[in-house]
Structure 1
Amino acid sequence: MKKNYLLGMALMASLSFNSCDKEVVYVQDGNGVESVADGAQIITLQVENGGDGLATRAGRPLYSAEAKQTIENVKLWICDNAGNVKYVTTISNWDKDGSTPYTTGGHGRQKTIELKDADKLAAGTYKIYAVGYSATSDYTMTAVTDVKKTEEGPSKYTFNENMVLPCSTAGEEIFAGQMELTVEKGKGFKKPVVLNRQVAGAFAYVKDIPYMEGAKYLKLVASAQNQSLVLGNFNSFDLTGNGSGNDANVKYVVNGTNGKAGSDTCVISTIDLNKWFTAIKDDNKDNLIDAGENWKNPYSSDGEGHPTFQKGSAFGGEFVIPFAHVDGKQTLTLQLTNAAGTTVLRSWKVNLGSADEQLKQTITCWNSGSTNWSTSLSGESSSTYSLVRNHLYGIGTRMNDEANPEKPGVDPDPNPENPNDKPESLNNKQELVLKVNDNWEVIHGMELD
């Protein structure tokens, strides 16, 4: 598995004071310390490239587990121990002019911020927060965008942790993190913080799709769906493997709330087969939708840099607000439906592999009733499992937006098979295996039933 930094951002800073009470900040990037001019306070905000539905909307679409970021704004603020906001800044056009690439200790984009004059921090205890988000986000971002310095508020303004962001879709990629900071007069320090992806991801990458009269959609449906994201209980560690899951600092957190009411099916992603095939037909009578010349890449008209896929395949995926498993209910199911979406012509259960590390874990959940992180969830099983923060759950294997990165823009033939780009066959399958990837912290492989 190719190792890439996927999920998150790193913010690293240290401050020290000389005998004349002048603050000096040193920024640590993981491989050393960069000294700065005497009397300066500098924070380097680092957003590391992270892992990754096919949808056109505000945030970045999910095409694969490739390390990318397209966020447009990063907001940073610093609070004292009482919750008073002492410093606020917003960086616009982050992915273009607002930051620069870096390759030391990872790869992503970074911005250096210097605290001057009245913005300098006095001795005390602080928390630094940063959130990276899209300019036209699907989230209601007021909990973030309304943060202001205490003295600038209509009354004395204090910041409360655990921001709740309602969302108009199943989810959208967003990054956040926190660093605790103690500034002592005459003493220096250095301490890293990592801002990670705050959502889960789920995709279906399949081939050999059964032909059934009237078939139009492949839908990935879930047992539950949360409609708000909670920013808090951050995992401020620099995870070192793209979905490898071998980092001791991997967390299993459900940071979603405001569950969808009623018994309606919770659809995570929808594949319109008419976009992948010229016609839904079976001229060769093998009981599968004809591929070959009948197949098309629906993104080939997007110009240079469009995603490519193995010929004959279909893909659909989305970022998802994490949710807890529902006892006695299959968590994910892949359904082949008619045009109205009301008749299920064929379905496959999507299971975690029996040896998946998540099945051994106790999941930390946001308790909306008491508005804290007091809920611990156990009883994860292959069929009833939670979708947790910064983990990617995939049917099939797809590590890059380009099926073959060495041949950009070319949709490859099915053979020879590429271990990094391998759609799951639906032919005669009764069980789907789901894979989860989070640096994504972990990549989970899913099984079809």
Structure 2
Amino acid sequence: MKKNYLLGMALMASLSFNSCDKEVVYVQDGTGVESVADGAQIITLQVENGGDGLATRAGRPLYSAEAKQTIENVKLWICDKAGNVKYVTTISNWDKDGSTPYTTGGHGRQKTIELKDADKLAAGTYKIYAVGYSATSDYTMTAVTDVKKTEEGPSKYTFNENMVLPCSTAGEEIFAGQMELPVEKGKGFKKPVVLNRQVAGAFAYVKDIPFREGARYLKLVASAQNQSLVLGNFNSSDLTGNGSGNDANVKYVVNGTNGKADGDYAYVISTIDLNEWFTAIKDEDGDNLIDAGENWKNPHRPSGSPAAGTYPTFQKGSAFGGEFVIPFAHVDGKQTLTLQLTNAGGKVLRSWKVNLGSTDEQLKQTITCWNSGSTDWSTSLSGELANTYSLVRNHLYGIGTRMNDEANPEKPGVDPDPNPENPNDKPESLNNKQELVLKVNDNWEVIHGMELD
């Protein structure tokens, strides 16, 4: 009689070019699971890179392309071919007593579950679904949290795999995926299920900021904004080469819906308050740039003597702002992203168009989009252009280069001078620029080079 192993999953945060980690959740093949009695079915849920201690809101803040995540809950359920839920479980307080540390193949946390008695799966075709999310999520999570076993739900409960999650913000990091699972009588199974990030990301990392009288904010503005996320049409592949775009399993999917429509096509993704980065907005040396040097400060450095590595560092003289974003489709004839320098009242004092590079792979793609009218994935969007492009799932769109939360990981807690320049931490100069270059990074799946206009 063979042992049956139901594999589990791991959330791997991988946003670094040179990191072998992946910002995904995957089901592993029993590594580290102790032997069990014949006929046992084991689920091992593993989440890698489980927390950075920097979160100040639901989910984690976006400070770079580094591999991180801070989910507290992992929910897994198994459906039969008809959509009846045969098994469901939720791991709460994941980063603490909900799981235990592991070191095999990573440095995350894991939880092993044994399916016993009535929970064991009979022969048939199943799908495993799993979602990793924050305990105080900005999403309305009832579509996930209300999943029950069929016999426990009202009347005959079945599960709809296209879950729509309204969001109270522009977006928050969340992971999801699925795996098809054929179970044969007397036979075991060993297959991975991968949960990838379901949102996009966008950031601006800049220096040499032009001085304008009354300047207060740098705002990254978009032509569209969706207010709900659709969990479905998953890319459940274990992506390789973080952000390289060379993985054959890379997808271009817009899984946002319920868009805003105010006619202005100017939705703020992130805002940099210059008063938080400079002690004064001034130009005493007359070079038409906001004075840096001793006038610069790191707003994310706690007061006192904080421990190195517990807060992000930046190049001196730079400014950073970024957020996770619910993916949205491009708007024909409208600039997708714009960087604006404004005063306190919102008056635009200077602006830069943010474009994809002319050779970016996304320009060759047909984008798969959620069709809210027919509630399916039947919409295909073509015509991606350098200035009118979609923000797609699990891609990171960045102005400048910033691969880690630490400007120099070899010297944690140090805000370095910009010279010599670090190719992995290089803010974009705004001096004499008319066009910004946007870089897209996923495993994030692909890295897109963006240009300032």
The equivalent of 1:415 in structure 2 is 419
Offset, 1:114: 1.2
**Is 1:446 matched with 2:447?**
no
Deviating more after overlay: 108-117 vs 249-258: 108-117
Q: Could you say if the C-alpha distance between residues 214 and 382 of structure 1 is closer, same or farther in structure 2, counting changes exceeding 3 Å?
A: same
Q: Could you say if the C-alpha distance between residues 49 and 388 of structure 1 is closer, same or farther in structure 2, counting changes exceeding 3 Å?
A: farther
Offset, 1:346: 0.3
Offset, 1:46: 2.9
Aligned residues of 2:26 and 2:194 also touching (Cα < 8 A): no
Offset, 1:352: 0.7
Q: Could you say if the C-alpha distance between residues 14 and 137 of structure 1 is closer, same or farther in structure 2, counting changes exceeding 3 Å?
A: closer
Q: Could you say if the C-alpha distance between residues 11 and 384 of structure 1 is closer, same or farther in structure 2, counting changes exceeding 3 Å?
A: closer
Q: Could you say if the C-alpha distance between residues 243 and 16 of structure 1 is closer, same or farther in structure 2, counting changes exceeding 3 Å?
A: closer
Aligned residues of 1:17 and 1:24 also touching (Cα < 8 A): no
Q: Could you say if the C-alpha distance between residues 105 and 2 of structure 1 is closer, same or farther in structure 2, counting changes exceeding 3 Å?
A: farther
Aligned counterparts of 1:320 and 1:199: Cα–Cα separation in 2: 6
Task: State the SS of the aligned residue for 1:189.
Answer: coil
Task: State the SS of the aligned residue for 1:284.
Answer: coil
Offset, 1:102: 4.6
Offset, 1:7: 19
The equivalent of 1:278 in structure 2 is 279
**Is 1:324 matched with 2:329?**
yes
Offset, 1:154: 2.7
Aligned residues of 2:12 and 2:22 also touching (Cα < 8 A): no
Task: Give the CA RMSD over aligned residues.
Answer: 7.7
Deviating more after overlay: 11-20 vs 147-156: 11-20
Aligned counterparts of 2:288 and 2:413: Cα–Cα separation in 1: 30
Aligned counterparts of 2:444 and 2:365: Cα–Cα separation in 1: 17
Offset, 1:129: 0.6
Q: Could you say if the C-alpha distance between residues 374 and 52 of structure 1 is closer, same or farther in structure 2, counting changes exceeding 3 Å?
A: farther
Q: Could you say if the C-alpha distance between residues 369 and 309 of structure 1 is closer, same or farther in structure 2, counting changes exceeding 3 Å?
A: same
**Is 1:333 matched with 2:335?**
no
Offset, 1:73: 0.5
Offset, 1:302: 6.4
Offset, 1:381: 1.0
Aligned residues of 2:200 and 2:391 also touching (Cα < 8 A): yes
Aligned residues of 1:352 and 1:444 also touching (Cα < 8 A): yes
Aligned counterparts of 2:2 and 2:349: Cα–Cα separation in 1: 37
Q: Could you say if the C-alpha distance between residues 238 and 4 of structure 1 is closer, same or farther in structure 2, counting changes exceeding 3 Å?
A: farther
Please report the TM-score for the alignment, with normalisation by the length of structure 2: 0.89
Deviating more after overlay: 298-307 vs 273-282: 298-307
**Could you give the per-residue CA deviations for residues 378-397 of structure 1, whole angstroms, max 9, x where no partner exists?**
11111111100000000000
Q: Could you say if the C-alpha distance between residues 212 and 183 of structure 1 is closer, same or farther in structure 2, counting changes exceeding 3 Å?
A: same
Deviating more after overlay: 40-49 vs 394-403: 40-49
Deviating more after overlay: 24-33 vs 44-53: 24-33
Aligned residues of 1:14 and 1:26 also touching (Cα < 8 A): no
Q: Could you say if the C-alpha distance between residues 440 and 11 of structure 1 is closer, same or farther in structure 2, counting changes exceeding 3 Å?
A: closer
Offset, 1:443: 2.1
The equivalent of 1:315 in structure 2 is 320
Offset, 1:192: 1.3
For these two proteins, the number of residue pairs brought into alignment is 445
Aligned counterparts of 2:30 and 2:117: Cα–Cα separation in 1: 28
Aligned counterparts of 2:152 and 2:233: Cα–Cα separation in 1: 27
Task: State the SS of the aligned residue for 1:143.
Answer: helix
Offset, 1:101: 4.3
Aligned counterparts of 2:21 and 2:398: Cα–Cα separation in 1: 54
**Could you give the per-residue CA deviations for residues 373-424 of structure 1, whole angstroms, max 9, x where no partner exists?**
0011111111111100000000000000010111111100111111111000
Aligned counterparts of 1:19 and 1:286: Cα–Cα separation in 2: 39
Aligned counterparts of 1:3 and 1:335: Cα–Cα separation in 2: 60
Please report the TM-score for the alignment, with normalisation by the length of structure 1: 0.90
Offset, 1:275: 0.3
Higher percent of residues as strand: 1
Offset, 1:245: 1.2
Q: Could you say if the C-alpha distance between residues 19 and 448 of structure 1 is closer, same or farther in structure 2, counting changes exceeding 3 Å?
A: closer
Percentage of identical aligned residues = 94
Task: State the SS of the aligned residue for 1:443.
Answer: coil
**Could you give the per-residue CA deviations for residues 72-109 of structure 1, whole angstroms, max 9, x where no partner exists?**
11111111111111111110111233234455556643
Offset, 1:187: 2.4
Aligned counterparts of 1:17 and 1:348: Cα–Cα separation in 2: 27
The equivalent of 2:186 in structure 1 is 186
Aligned counterparts of 2:421 and 2:187: Cα–Cα separation in 1: 58
Aligned residues of 1:14 and 1:189 also touching (Cα < 8 A): no
Aligned counterparts of 1:102 and 1:320: Cα–Cα separation in 2: 31
Q: Could you say if the C-alpha distance between residues 108 and 242 of structure 1 is closer, same or farther in structure 2, counting changes exceeding 3 Å?
A: farther
Task: State the SS of the aligned residue for 1:138.
Answer: coil
Offset, 1:111: 2.2
Offset, 1:10: 4.1
**Is 1:358 matched with 2:362?**
yes
Q: Could you say if the C-alpha distance between residues 128 and 356 of structure 1 is closer, same or farther in structure 2, counting changes exceeding 3 Å?
A: same
Q: Could you say if the C-alpha distance between residues 2 and 149 of structure 1 is closer, same or farther in structure 2, counting changes exceeding 3 Å?
A: closer
The equivalent of 1:380 in structure 2 is 384
Aligned residues of 1:365 and 1:374 also touching (Cα < 8 A): yes
Aligned residues of 1:6 and 1:440 also touching (Cα < 8 A): no
Aligned counterparts of 2:163 and 2:314: Cα–Cα separation in 1: 38
Structure 1: gaps of 5 or more residues: none
Offset, 1:47: 3.1
Deviating more after overlay: 183-192 vs 92-101: 92-101
Aligned counterparts of 1:19 and 1:327: Cα–Cα separation in 2: 37
Aligned residues of 2:16 and 2:404 also touching (Cα < 8 A): no
Aligned counterparts of 2:22 and 2:387: Cα–Cα separation in 1: 59
Deviating more after overlay: 69-78 vs 301-310: 301-310
Aligned residues of 1:23 and 1:41 also touching (Cα < 8 A): no
Aligned residues of 2:363 and 2:386 also touching (Cα < 8 A): yes
Aligned residues of 1:7 and 1:48 also touching (Cα < 8 A): no
Task: State the SS of the aligned residue for 2:242.
Answer: coil
